[in-house]
Amino acid sequence: MAALSGLASALESYRGRDRLIRTLGYCCQLVGGVLVQQCRARSEVGTRLLALSSQLSHCRTVLRLFDDAAMFVYTKQYGLGAEEEDIFVRCVSVLGNLADQLYYPCEHVAWAADAKILRVDSARWWTLSTAFWGLSLLLGIARSLWMVLKLRQRLRGPTVPCARYDAPAAVSGPRGSPAGGCSERPPVISPTPCGPRAASRLPQSKQRALEAQVQSEVLTLLSNLADLANAVHWLPPGILWAGRFPPWLVGLLGTVSSLLSVYQAVRASGPADTTP
């Protein structure tokens, strides 16, 4: 019952509904593509699943007709990224926002051309919108890679020197000493980093937060890579692997990307970790 309530709550939001439609659409394309290509006896079922996947994709395209305003507000609020400390992150984020902002009107024109609302060549506008999407994904990949490197540097950053205990050295003593002519010098304590076991200066809660951020960036990176592979596939033939993916592979990559997105959304909406 709790799972059903959570699903209903997610479907009440636009983003939650879009994630579900996207995941379901790519899953249908994956299963349908496998049935059509590998199981001739079930090819009719596979064809129907591919048709359902196409309709779900069309549904998302129509819903995105109303995303321009939200994207514009976000782009305007972010501006030139004055709050970002890292100049590289600022540059790729600004360029990514610009690519996303240009993606929407291009897709709208392509959709309107397919619907016979505008008398223009829809193929050119679909190509342009896909190119902007691919550019946004490339910038997102570059940003995630950079963030992972920076966060790992912070995790491996300043350390607290550990005490190194040198072995006690034997020194000559008086003949009548209890040690039989030798006495032990007290151990020498010298500060030195303890290699990978050096104690981090970061508080444990801060370290856990950085590790969670690294994991989030890695998941975003994998999701963007899967989407980028599909974006290139949808470009005109002759560009890298454009047009060479079978339907099931497109569905597989999209399903992986969608599930990663759903997982991140669920984790972000979960209860905060209050463990000291």
CA atoms of 202 and 157, how far apart (whole Å): 9
User: Would you state the pLDDT for residue 199?
Assistant: 47
Q: How confident is the model at residue 185 (pLDDT cuts 50, 70, 90)?
A: very low
Q: Where are the domains of the chain?
A: 14-158+198-269, 159-197
Q: How confident is the model at residue 169 (pLDDT cuts 50, 70, 90)?
A: very low
- Count of alpha carbons within 13 angstroms of residue 157, beta-carbon side: 13
pTM: 0.80
CA atoms of 94 and 156, how far apart (whole Å): 29
Over the stretch 113-157, which tens digit does the pLDDT of each residue have? 999 999 999 999 999 999 999 999 999 999 999 999 999 988 887
Whether the CA torsion 59, 60, 65, 66 is positive or negative: it is positive
Ranges 81-85, 100-104, 271-275: which has the least confidence: 271-275
The C-alpha angle 68, 71, 10, rounded to 5 degrees, equals 95
Q: How confident is the model at residue 168 (pLDDT cuts 50, 70, 90)?
A: very low
H runs (alpha helix) in 13-121 = 14-38, 43-63, 68-78, 87-114
Separation in Å, CA 235 to CA 63, 132, 152, 254, 259: 23, 11, 35, 16, 24
Q: How confident is the model at residue 175 (pLDDT cuts 50, 70, 90)?
A: very low
